[in-house]
Amino acid sequence: MRHIDSLIFAGWVIPGEPEDRILEKHALAIHEGKIVTILPIEEAVREFSARVTHRLPQHALIPGLINTHTHAAMTLLRGYGSDLPMMEWLHEHIWPAEQAWMSDSFVADGTRLAVAEMLTAGITCFNDMYFFPETTASVVEELGIRACIGLIVVDFPTIWAKNPGEYLGKAEGLYKHYRQHSLIRTALAPHAPYSVSDDPLKSIAALSESWDIPIHMHLHETADEVVQSQKQYQLRPIERLENLGLLSERFLAVHATQLNDNDIEYLQLHQCHVVHCPESNLKLASGFCPVPRLLENGINVALGTDGAASNDDLDILGEMRTAALLAKGISGNAAAVPAAKALHMATLGGAQALGIDDITGSLKPGKAADVVAIDMSALSTQPVYNVLSQIVYAASRHQVTDVWVAGQHLLKSRILSTMDMRELQTRILFWRQKIGDDS
């Protein structure tokens, strides 16, 4: 008998590869933070002796969910200025609030709230873009979740940096600091085509190649963005980025709601990834990402929540469902984006986009034990005919009971093991009072 750290016996294991596989009454064996194997429970009992055994007969195990686009600290602005036209919302509410309150302690507390929300929702990895990324990274280290930290670059000065040169200098420092970290990766994060000019974009293209890290960027989020770019550069944003050498298999195009045939060809040609944020796109009335067409063209699609100020939650299980439903509605085909495909976008699709699919994104021997247990015995998921369909269309994040990241049991029976919740609630209240009423 082989001695290992832990065994999880589950009603169902959904490994994610191949994407529609469902294993009933199987066990997941974990040792030193990695998945050893997945096998029938009765075989696991014979083969392994585990230090800890979790018995979850009513639960389904899925790969940890990946939130491939968020601005974590914006949880502190959740619901701040809702139901407004996008430009009024940005210019009159969000940007002034950020201008007034942005600091490393805002980012630290907002990120703590975000990580607490994400872990309890089964998210084991997130791809962030915000100011004070070094603060986000240290909260990530403190709490044990996996993350890709965006090294933000914009043309204009903020409290964090004065000009593109300073943004890029800080980016280099952070990239070097985290290069060898087991849970933290970095990505170059030029905010958007309209907020970063050609020179810094060229530097970013070169750095992405030399450091071999992704470029994480808002792209074609709104029709107006495309129109403005055509006016200013006589090019659609994606054409401009192509000219500047940004497009490659390391490029993540976030939103992509405005795509013509030519744009899709560029994405396909350069093997770019698209990060679909369906709820944010709906709330801000940005348009519809043509997910079924992207998938038909072999383009990898991941899912993101966007920031909590435009969503208003960090819930990838919810985005999966919205993505699956919206694709059907918009394409007029009830068979579009079936449950297994939605789960793929929320797991392995995200890992591929971030270039970490050798480490996470599916339950595969040798990968990190990034695992989520969902209790299927809740009324709202009964009866279970097809567990995959039930997870995507009926389960909610409140049925997530246990979460492991690299084998660390971060959520135990819905209790976060690495956070002081009382302290967190106090900090949220502090910011609520400081920021004041949204009026």
- When binding is defined by CB under 8 A, the residue of 146, 276, 397, 409 that contacts a copy of itself is 397
Is residue 98 marked as binding?
yes
- In the complex, the smallest distance separating the C-beta of residue 53 from a copy of itself, rounded to whole angstroms, is 25
Say how far apart CA 112 and CA 137 lie, in whole Å: 11
Say how far apart CA 283 and CA 293 lie, in whole Å: 22
Whether the CB-CB separation of 404 and 410 falls below 8 Å is answered with: yes
SS3 assignment, position 50: strand
The residue (of 49 and 380) whose beta carbon lies closer to a copy of itself is 380
Is residue 117 marked as binding?
no
- In the complex, the smallest distance separating the C-beta of residue 104 from a copy of itself, rounded to whole angstroms, is 19
Crossing angle (nearest 10°) for helices 198-211 and 164-178: 10
Residue 67 makes contact with a copy of itself by CB under 8 A: no
Report the site for a copy of itself in 27-56 (rule: CB under 8 A).
Answer: none
Residue 126 makes contact with a copy of itself by CB under 8 A: no
The residue (of 44 and 343) whose beta carbon lies closer to a copy of itself is 343
Phi-psi region of 407 (alpha: psi -120 to 50; beta: other; left: phi over 0): left
Rg (CA), the chain: 21
Whether the CB-CB separation of 273 and 248 falls below 8 Å is answered with: no
Q: How are beta strands 251-255 and 273-276 bridged, if at all?
A: parallel
Residue 428 makes contact with a copy of itself by CB under 8 A: yes
How many residues bind a copy of itself (CB under 8 A)? The answer is: 68
Sign of CA dihedral 56, 60, 66, 70: negative
CB half-sphere exposure, 266, CA atoms < 13 A: 22
- In the complex, the smallest distance separating the C-beta of residue 435 from a copy of itself, rounded to whole angstroms, is 8
- When binding is defined by CB under 8 A, the residue of 98, 128, 225, 279 that contacts a copy of itself is 279
Report the site for a copy of itself in 303-322 (rule: CB under 8 A).
Answer: 308, 311-315, 322
Q: Which of 292, 354, 374, 365 has the alpha carbon at shortest distance from 66?
A: 354
Q: Which stretch binds a copy of itself (CB under 8 A): 130-138, 144-152, 158-166, 324-332?
A: 324-332
- In the complex, the smallest distance separating the C-beta of residue 221 from a copy of itself, rounded to whole angstroms, is 13
Position 64, amino acid: G
* 151 beta partners: 188
The residue (of 118 and 354) whose beta carbon lies closer to a copy of itself is 118
Whether the CB-CB separation of 5 and 52 falls below 8 Å is answered with: yes
Residue 108 makes contact with a copy of itself by CB under 8 A: no
Is residue 92 marked as binding?
no
The residue (of 262 and 382) whose beta carbon lies closer to a copy of itself is 382
Is residue 71 marked as binding?
yes
Residue 85 makes contact with a copy of itself by CB under 8 A: yes
Residue 335 makes contact with a copy of itself by CB under 8 A: yes
- When binding is defined by CB under 8 A, the residue of 285, 415, 420, 423 that contacts a copy of itself is 285
Phi, psi of 267 (to 5 degrees): -60, -40
SS3 assignment, position 151: strand
Sign of CA dihedral 13, 17, 20, 23: negative
Residue 283 makes contact with a copy of itself by CB under 8 A: yes
For residue 367 the two structure tokens come to 């990968």
CA 45 to chain centre: 35
Residue 389 makes contact with a copy of itself by CB under 8 A: yes
Whether the CB-CB separation of 275 and 254 falls below 8 Å is answered with: yes
Report which DSSP code applies to 11.
E
Residue 429 makes contact with a copy of itself by CB under 8 A: yes
The residue (of 85 and 169) whose beta carbon lies closer to a copy of itself is 85
Residue 413 makes contact with a copy of itself by CB under 8 A: no
- In the complex, the smallest distance separating the C-beta of residue 103 from a copy of itself, rounded to whole angstroms, is 16
- When binding is defined by CB under 8 A, the residue of 180, 334, 413, 422 that contacts a copy of itself is 334
Residue 111 makes contact with a copy of itself by CB under 8 A: no
Q: Which of 39, 58, 160, 147 has the alpha carbon at shortest distance from 99?
A: 160
Position 182, amino acid: S
SS3 assignment, position 93: helix
Is residue 142 marked as binding?
no
Inter-CA distances, 3 with 46, 48, 110, 227, Å: 11, 6, 41, 62
The residue (of 121 and 171) whose beta carbon lies closer to a copy of itself is 121
Residues of this chain that bind a copy of itself (CB under 8 A): 75-76, 78-80, 82-86, 89, 113, 116-117, 120-121, 279, 281-285, 287-288, 308, 311-315, 322, 325-326, 328-329, 331-336, 338-339, 377, 379-386, 389-390, 393-394, 396-398, 424-425, 428-429, 431-432, 435, 437-438
Binding residues for substrate: 98, 191, 221, 306
